[in-house]
Structure 1
């Protein structure tokens, strides 16, 4: 594993956390490919649909929610990476599985699967 790639992917995930917390779709668009699909059981959303939902919901940072996002695991193998993240957001406890690829020298999020632990229990 290339330590530089591991650090770069970690920085992309930090941008992801901050984009979620600030409801900053411009920041998220810089790290997520346009073809991104969000998936959970029986639900698929495009990046555009996801961004519309982000812009319509309360902003966690403005609402005073703590910044408690965490990388639970991260594997970087060649030009591919898979991360498992804890994303407490607006009263939910999301676990996000984020897939990233390094293309044209840049790491980008290409897919997202997620589950809300509160809804699951």
Structure 2
């Protein structure tokens, strides 16, 4: 029986989604990324907007960090969970660049999914 407080359970579930995000980026695992993003998610960078499908197409055709023996050094910088919404700030060293991503998540139908990603070079 799970005796964790609801907040801790949600925090753990959000962290699990973020870990899948890191793995999905590192391995260019489109199926994994598709599972953790809401289909209508929007990805935004300064002066740039992409739909989820546009972004996944780019991920599927770029170099794969795991195949280049790139270090897996992604990390969570901050997580805020308030009821059924979360904002996660992450560091993503990827393909010679260092990104800071802000991932917006919502818990809908009992499942945490990324609904928004804002990112820029650090």
Structure 2 SS opposite 1:62 = helix
Structure 1 SS opposite 2:112: strand
Q: What is the aligned partner in structure 1 of residue 11 from structure 2?
A: 6
| TM-score between both structures, scaled by the size of structure 1 | 0.95
CA distance in 2, matches of 1:28, 1:55: 11
State the Cα RMSD in Å.
0.8
Q: Which runs of 4+ in 1 moved over 6 A?
A: none
Determine if the alignment matches structure 1 residue 52 to structure 2 residue 51.
no
How many residue pairs match? The answer is 117
> Partner of 1:92 in structure 2?
97
1:17 alignment partner in structure 2: 22
Aligned to 1:69: 74
Partner of 2:35: 30
Residue 106 (structure 1) aligned to one of 94, 111, 121: 111
2:88 alignment partner in structure 1: 83
Unpaired segments of 5 or more residues in structure 2?
1-5
Query: Any idea what the Cα deviations from partners look like across 1:52-78, whole Å, max 9, x if unmatched?
Result: 100110100001100000000000010
Deviation at 1:103, TM superposition (A): 0.3
**Which secondary structure does the structure 1 equivalent of 2:118 belong to?**
strand
